[in-house]
Structure formats: C-alpha cells, structure tokens
Amino acid sequence: MSIEVAQVGVRFGGVTALQDVDLTLTRGEVLAVIGPNGSGKSTLFNAITGFVDIASGRVAVDGRDLAGMAAENRIASGISRTFQTPRINPAASVEEAVLCGFHPHARTGFWQGLLRPPAMARMEAELRQRRTRVLEQLDLLGFARQQMGELPMGIVRLVDIARAMAAEPNYLLLDEPAAGLSKTEQNVLIQQVRRLAGQGVGVLLVEHNFGLVRRLADRVMVLDRGKVLLRGTADEVSRRPEFITAYLGTNKQ
C-alpha cells in the first residue's frame, strides 16, 4: 500500500517546476520533502493531489493510476492534505471547519437530522464524535466555538491539520505544517503525526524546520530546482555537502 510517483514532470509555461521526480510513500512512514523556496515542494503536493496537471510521468495510489482523476476524488481515495496557506472560511467556527472538511451533510441542523433515517443520524453522531476526538487530540477543544477569522495563525494551522486528520486518511500530506506554531504546538503536532503514522498512515511532510524534520521523518528527500538532489535519513542528508549548499545556503533556520 503506497503512493507511487514515477518520473513526474510539471511545467508552468516556460518554467519547469518538477522534473523526473520519483518517490514512494508507504503507509506508516513519514517522508519529509525539503529544499529551498521554489524547489517544487508544493508543486509535488499539487501533482499528487490533482491540483496541477502533470506533463509527464505517473502518480498512483495503492496501484491505481490517478491520471485524469479530479482532486476531490483523490481525497476520497484516501489522500488528505493541508495547504501551505490554509484555505479557511473566516466566518466558520473551529468545529465547523473541522467537520465540513470531510462530510458534506455534517452541517445540517438538529431538526433536519430528526427527519432523516436513523442510519444517517447515527452517522452524523459518529462524525461529531470523531470531530471532538480530533480536536481533543490536537489540544483544540478550548477553541471549538471560536471563529476561524479571530484565531492566530498557529491555531489556524492546527485546525487545518485536524480537518485533514478527521478524514481518517491513509495518506496525509502536510505542507509546512509547523510554520507559525509555538514550540508547544509543534510538540503536539509531532506527537499526533507520530500517532497517525503508528496507525498506518503514510505522511508526506514539507517542512522548513529541520529540527522538526529530524524528530519526525523516517526518510528525507531533498529537492533542488525541481529535481531530487538527495535521499536518505535526516542524519545522512544533513552530512552531505550538497545539502549544505542547496538547503542551508538559502534557509537559515
């Protein structure tokens, strides 16, 4: 069970954003994608999740080629993601933001619920429980009724991660999830991502904070100008001279 990316290329007009990128993400492992700004990390996420078209190569999930499959159907096939800039409705409450991420009927009211068949009501109750559980896990229960637009970015990011996790994905793609998080929030994030990986979720992590990558990733892949420069464990890649020039040269964090 894996996501397979083979020889993937993405172009934007004259710009080659990705070239011949290969990766395998198996369930239960955490693979970090690092690299300087503009090296193609977000584009790689977009290519996997169907937000951009690939010019060449192949993306497959559990043996199924995703060519031509729309982004929303890819999510249904077990892939969940966050965005580098969270896409939020500022008027939604935290609990709405988490719940509406994974179920289109979940926001209907109590009375409508009574008019529905019992199976549907049971499903909604289960979804609410799942929402509460995921908010609890990410230490967000205290924010449940607050509006997204009123929250600091660190909390917005955690809510976005909670939304992605609530979908109970087999593969979770996190685009710079720790940006703007406090140390305590980062620790909650690490603990939860580990827990998910322990349950068999494959995690693809784009992250600038190498300290966090070191603590979390089983394997690391370094992108540079759209190509894979290095692969290995965090320790292995961090010792390579190419890493120091490509990565640390432009990311002094």
Ligand X SMILES: Nc1ncnc2c1ncn2[C@@H]1O[C@H](COP(=O)(O)OP(=O)(O)O)[C@@H](O)[C@H]1O
Chain residues that interact with ligand X, rule: CB under 6 A: 12, 15, 17, 35, 37-43
Cβ closest to ligand X, residue 53 vs residue 236: 53
* Residue ranges that bind Mg ion, judged by CB under 5 A: 41-42, 84
Other beta carbons within 10 Å of 90: 11
In the numeric block, which tokens belong to residue 11?
């172009």
Residue 39 interacting entry, from ligand X, Mg ion, none, C-beta within 5 to 8 Å by type: ligand X
Residue 97 interacting entry, from ligand X, Mg ion, none, C-beta within 5 to 8 Å by type: none
Phi, psi of 243 (to 5 degrees): -65, -45
Residue 40 interacting entry, from ligand X, Mg ion, none, C-beta within 5 to 8 Å by type: ligand X
Q: Tell me how far, at minimum, the Cβ of 83 lies from ligand X, in Å.
A: 11
Cβ closest to ligand X, residue 43 vs residue 186: 43
| Full DSSP string of 19-49 | EEEEEEEETT-EEEEE-STTSSHHHHHHHHH
Cβ closest to Mg ion, residue 84 vs residue 250: 84
Cβ closest to Mg ion, residue 84 vs residue 245: 84
Residue 15 interacting entry, from Mg ion, ligand X, none, C-beta within 5 to 8 Å by type: ligand X
Residue 169 interacting entry, from Mg ion, ligand X, none, C-beta within 5 to 8 Å by type: none
Other beta carbons within 10 Å of 105: 13
Residue 253 interacting entry, from Mg ion, ligand X, none, C-beta within 5 to 8 Å by type: none
Cβ closest to ligand X, residue 42 vs residue 49: 42
Ramachandran assignment for 7, one of left (phi > 0), alpha (psi -120 to 50 degrees), beta (any other): left
Phi, psi of 134 (to 5 degrees): -70, -35
Alpha helices in 2-149 (DSSP H): 41-49, 71-76, 94-99, 110-115, 118-137
Write the CA distances from 121 to 50, 104, 135, 189, 202, integer angstroms: 32, 14, 21, 32, 31
Residues in Cβ contact with 160 at an 8 Å cutoff, skipping those fewer than 6 apart:
82, 83, 86, 87, 88, 97
Measured between alpha carbons, how far is 53 from 46 in angstroms, rounded to an integer? Answer: 8
Q: Tell me how far, at minimum, the Cβ of 128 lies from ligand X, in Å.
A: 35
Cβ closest to ligand X, residue 17 vs residue 106: 17
Q: Tell me how far, at minimum, the Cβ of 251 lies from Mg ion, in Å.
A: 12
Cβ closest to Mg ion, residue 88 vs residue 135: 88
Q: Tell me how far, at minimum, the Cβ of 66 lies from ligand X, in Å.
A: 18
Q: Tell me how far, at minimum, the Cβ of 103 lies from ligand X, in Å.
A: 29
Q: Tell me how far, at minimum, the Cβ of 176 lies from ligand X, in Å.
A: 8
Q: Tell me how far, at minimum, the Cβ of 125 lies from ligand X, in Å.
A: 39
* CB-based contact 134:165 (threshold 8 Å): yes
